[in-house]
Structure 1
Amino acid sequence: MNPALLPLAVALPITGAVAAPLLSRLSSRASLIASLIALVGPAALLATFAPAVYGGRLSGHALGNVGPVRGAELGITFTAEPFGLTFALLTATIGSVLLLYSLSELGGLASHEAGWYACLTQLLLAAMIGTALTADLLNLFVWFEVAALASYGLAGFFLERPWALEATFKMMILTNLAGFCVFVAVALLYSGHGALNLGQLERSLSGGVRTADVVALGLLLTGFGTKAGLMPFHGWLADAHTAAPGPISALFSGLMVNLGVVAIARLTLDVYTAGRTVLPAILMVLGAASAILGAALALAQDDLKRLLAYDTISQVGVLLTAVGAGTMRAVTGLVYHLVDHALFKALLFLCAGAIVHATGMTRLSQMGGLARHRPIVTGAFLVATASIAGVPPLNGYASLGLIHDSLRAEHPVAFGAVLVAQGLTVAALGRAAYLAFFRRRDDDYDPLERMRPGMLIAFGTLALGCIAFGVLPNLVVSHIAAPAAAVLLDPNAYATIALAGSTRLTLTVQSFDYFAPDELLISGACLVAGLLLAFWYVRRSKEPIVVTGLRRLHNGSVNDYVAYSALGLIGCTFILLAWRR
């Protein structure tokens, strides 16, 4: 394992991004095929690090061999450690699957459109891989900006659609504000500590946290919370996910929002270590609120992709409650659910994109009877829905079970919030499945074209992932999730490799009892309650007043969304400062 090869995992997709518009002069498919090759390469490269890294051997590489001088890191370090490697491998692998899907669904694009589509997609994926591997705060900001710029082009890719331009405008305003917050935080930390390396920052902050450091923490939470779609910083997310092409919506929801979660988890657990600030409690509150309100808003949607987008906010909330809990069990569940969320949410958005592509319909009220016309899409949607609902033997059951275990005793309020969110999620997706696939539709659809091979492979790969990560939970826990949790909970080990060193990670044994009666009961209760709520909601002619109030707060005004983010920034920073005093 040579950590000097790590930069290639970012350099290859960037090279592919440069080549894609040039190759599009040959044909539209040439750029997409070359892009697929440029992503398979990083996935294969990162896979070679897996045996040693998950076995506890950690190392860092200073780019350009600009290593530490008198304990101060002057350059940028990439690290080979389980948490970052998990997200980087996930990004490269699922990104390859989504590009393969694009070859089938969007292969008819004009050559120049296909070239720029492939270019922007690879830049976004390269930024996410860079986020996973970097141990430098300014470099983290750079990847944040690269991801933002690429996502603007992808969200507004269909320029002829006015709502796509509107969604991109909202996304630009909110994520640019978020980027500014991160940049100011970087400046505050550098001015006080003379360091941008995360390991060096952790060791410097161990000596005491200044007021400026707390303000920087509030700014970082706002910036990366916006990228994650955490409430109240979420205003851009639903519009952007709805307007983007199907594979890009899957990329946004399954992977890009995880960029924010990865950054927040790293800063909370490896830099601003738990117990020194009130940040874990803030994450618990914001996570619980996002989990419930996001799921409630999903239940109220008629647009299928918007429904899935609000459910993404709910799932981010669940992930952030695990970060806030900060125990070995909770963080193991966080890593497991991060992987699971990428699988089942990407699959759900591909299903939605396939429906829109085939029928031109986006609203559930227009759909019905698709189970007969699209049995493969129906099966994939049901697998993903059962996964996100925590139905055994699919993957969500194990990851949610670990999070439940960690919250039940020490954080009963957050535990209750996660259960309520799970029931609402079942209701929202159960309602969507009935209305789109099983409800009788009087008018038949126009003849639908056959699904192409790349689409079938993508559906099969993601569905198989949902099943495999569900039926082999202890293999995932012991070989992936627990090592990743261990490095997040060992700031000293991470600081060592962030300063271009190497170390051995102390691994702890974790397991998941698949047949634990309490978890089976919770899963069954949430499933039954959610399905009953879906049945009630479908038959109800008028939506509940609480849901109406939530919808009115989400009126599409970018001014309101900026105000929500500003209030979130002020509130979080005030609480952090008040606790410190």
Structure 2
Amino acid sequence: MNAAALLPLAVAVPIGGAVAAPLLARPWRHLPVIVSVAALCSTTAILLLVAPSVFSGAVPVHFLGGWGPVSGAVLGITMVADPFGLVFALASAAIGALLLLYTLSELGGLGARELGGYACLFQLLLAALVGGALTADLFNLFVWFEVAALASYGLTGFFLERPIALEAAFKILVLTTVAGFAIFVGIGLLYADHGALNVGQLHQALAGRPRVPDLVALGLLVAGFATKAGLVPFHGWLADAHTAAPGPVSALFSGLMVNFGIVAIGRLVFQVYGVGTPAVLVVLTVTGAISALVGAALALAQDDLKRLLAYDTVSQMGVLAIGLGTATASGVAGAAYHLLSHALFKALLFLCAGAIVHATGETRLSRMGGLARRRPLLAAAFGLGVASIAGVPPFTGYVSLGLIHQGLLESGDGAALAAMLVAQVITLAALGRAGWLAFVRRRAAGYEREVRLRPGMMVGFATLAGCCVAFGVLPRLCLDRLMAPAASALIDPRAYLSAALAGPGMLAPLSVPFHYADAGELLLVGAGVLLGAALAWWYLRAREPAPIRALRAAHNGSVQDYTCYAIAGFLVVTSAFVLS
């Protein structure tokens, strides 16, 4: 069978599993989750069959229903597997299967109806992520955005008896609906002006010379997908949704779903419009720097562990935007690497947070303590996740962050590099403070309840931790085989665009240098760790600084305020493109 013909199957399998899940709960309540794990493992296997040729430079394409191009115009939906999208699709399927396996340990006591609905929504969301990563059609991308959104509403409000869950589901509904409407209007403007939805056809129509309606469309599309990514000021939904959702769902949202927004922005900026579009790289870099700093500062101020990790996700999405904004081989390869790194270490940390809630019933750091002695394996997993975020060798974050630093130096953007380093110090302080309060600090009394961690949880911790180490100690292999081709698909998208219009192509080879023992990078890591530790020690003892109090006051939980922030962001981003 032609490898390209397998691409629709990678999406159809989890959709079929989602349809079957509620029905399978009737004979045995755990059956929906078990079948869902099998479905996602099947999707992973299908993508792995395609992967060798894709990461060797081939760009397979499949025109659904046989509706191929006619005279340079594409009427049907096109699925294209390029290395950038395939990295995300593989991560979504494989980590999603692992999160569902973890679900059996944390939520296995739920009833048949609940587990059936949970497995259905979980698979729908993952199918949307895989479909969005493989589509080369803007309207189809919007459809997957909406499928992911609908599933996320149900998963956020899964425990409706909790007021926080209902409120969080309403917030994500409002903000994602605003974003979806903006994306729909942006796509409509492009279609009205050019009569095309295919990525390759739109790129040809724009030809590096977008007009005012095209720039308005770009602003709406970038801001809409930035809402999915949780970039500032479109991030109001993120912390509540991550806090209210069950542990595996929080890991799914933070490790995978928000990355969907970054993948879509990368497609738009590099493959549809091209980096020659005025102000696009500046907007990416500035938005990324602000997100990195604001997210890190808000994480430092949190007492709820899951909320802290959620705001750190805002910061990490800013780092990804900065990497894309460099438009250099090193920076874009670093963004692709960090896309995978973030999926691994953030899923690991959210599973640790969920395990703490499951084992002790506590969510607030001020009520925790002594977990390193009671749960040494959990403490080790949390510490490894923090080390990965910190960019400490030999963990995966060291390579991805180092590449982005290298890209910023190559592009000469010292201000963005400084903002990223400051955000990294604050992030280390926030996570170091959390580690001290939860694991190291002594707790005089025992917990009201102490439930042992189950085998499925241990498998999740071990697998994600092992991957954090593997992608850190094998950087040359990962960079040459995975991330350099992913960067090539964005920086030189001619083969991707040609495939979307005329059939399979071959990417141009790209070499990305990286020196693991670079003295400057090691010095930055060491200084960052020391400064982060010092800031954490100071913050544990000092009064809350005025800037952080102001940020907390601005994040008052009001959906009206968050919607206003998002609409202001839409206006600013669109104006920046139009007026540049």
Provide TM-score, normalisation by structure 1: 0.99
* Contact 1:60 1:499 (C-alpha < 8 Å) held by counterparts: no
Q: Give, in whole Å, the separation in 2 of the partners of 1:188 and 1:461.
A: 45
* Contact 1:61 1:500 (C-alpha < 8 Å) held by counterparts: no
Q: 1:460 aligns to what?
A: 462
After superposition, the C-alpha distances for 1:234-259 in whole angstroms (9 at most, x for unaligned) are 00000000000000000000000000
Q: Give, in whole Å, the separation in 2 of the partners of 1:447 and 1:373.
A: 12
Q: Give, in whole Å, the separation in 2 of the partners of 1:475 and 1:88.
A: 19
Q: Displacement, 1:500?
A: 4.8
Q: Displacement, 1:208?
A: 2.5
After superposition, the C-alpha distances for 1:469-528 in whole angstroms (9 at most, x for unaligned) are 001111110000000000111222111111251111111222321100000000001110
AA at the equivalent of 1:128: L
Q: Give, in whole Å, the separation in 1 of the partners of 2:463 and 2:484.
A: 24
Q: 2:100 aligns to what?
A: 99
Q: Give, in whole Å, the separation in 1 of the partners of 2:568 and 2:511.
A: 42
Q: 2:114 aligns to what?
A: 113
Q: Give, in whole Å, the separation in 2 of the partners of 1:47 and 1:578.
A: 44
Q: Give, in whole Å, the separation in 1 of the partners of 2:208 and 2:282.
A: 22
Match status 1:212 vs 2:213: yes
Match status 1:318 vs 2:319: yes
**4+ residue runs of structure 1 moved beyond 3 angstroms?**
none
Match status 1:415 vs 2:417: yes
* Contact 1:478 1:511 (C-alpha < 8 Å) held by counterparts: no
Q: Give, in whole Å, the separation in 2 of the partners of 1:146 and 1:85.
A: 19
* Contact 1:62 1:500 (C-alpha < 8 Å) held by counterparts: no
Match status 1:442 vs 2:447: no
SS in 1 for 2:59: strand
Q: Displacement, 1:408?
A: 2.3
1:367-516 alignment, distance < 5 Å: 367-409=368-410, 410-516=412-518
* Contact 2:293 2:419 (C-alpha < 8 Å) held by counterparts: yes
1:99-178 alignment, distance < 5 Å: 99-178=100-179
Q: Give, in whole Å, the separation in 1 of the partners of 2:18 and 2:99.
A: 15
AA at the equivalent of 1:65: G
* Contact 1:32 1:115 (C-alpha < 8 Å) held by counterparts: yes
Provide TM-score, normalisation by structure 2: 0.99
SS in 1 for 2:60: strand
Q: Displacement, 1:450?
A: 2.1
Match of 1:530 among 529, 532, 538: 532
Q: 1:65 aligns to what?
A: 66
Q: 1:268 aligns to what?
A: 269
- Runs of 5+ consecutive residues of structure 2 not aligned to the other structure: none
Q: Displacement, 1:162?
A: 0.2
Q: Displacement, 1:100?
A: 0.4
* Contact 2:496 2:507 (C-alpha < 8 Å) held by counterparts: no
Q: Give, in whole Å, the separation in 1 of the partners of 2:524 and 2:118.
A: 43
Question: Which stretch has the larger CA shift, 110-119 or 511-520?
Answer: 511-520
AA at the equivalent of 1:143: W
Q: Give, in whole Å, the separation in 1 of the partners of 2:137 and 2:131.
A: 10
Q: Give, in whole Å, the separation in 2 of the partners of 1:94 and 1:485.
A: 22
Question: Which stretch has the larger CA shift, 429-438 or 53-62?
Answer: 53-62
After superposition, the C-alpha distances for 1:262-305 in whole angstroms (9 at most, x for unaligned) are 00011001111002221110110000000011001000000000
SS in 2 for 1:475: helix
AA at the equivalent of 1:550: L
Q: Displacement, 1:131?
A: 0.5
Q: Displacement, 1:447?
A: 4.9
Q: 1:561 aligns to what?
A: 562
- Runs of 5+ consecutive residues of structure 1 not aligned to the other structure: none
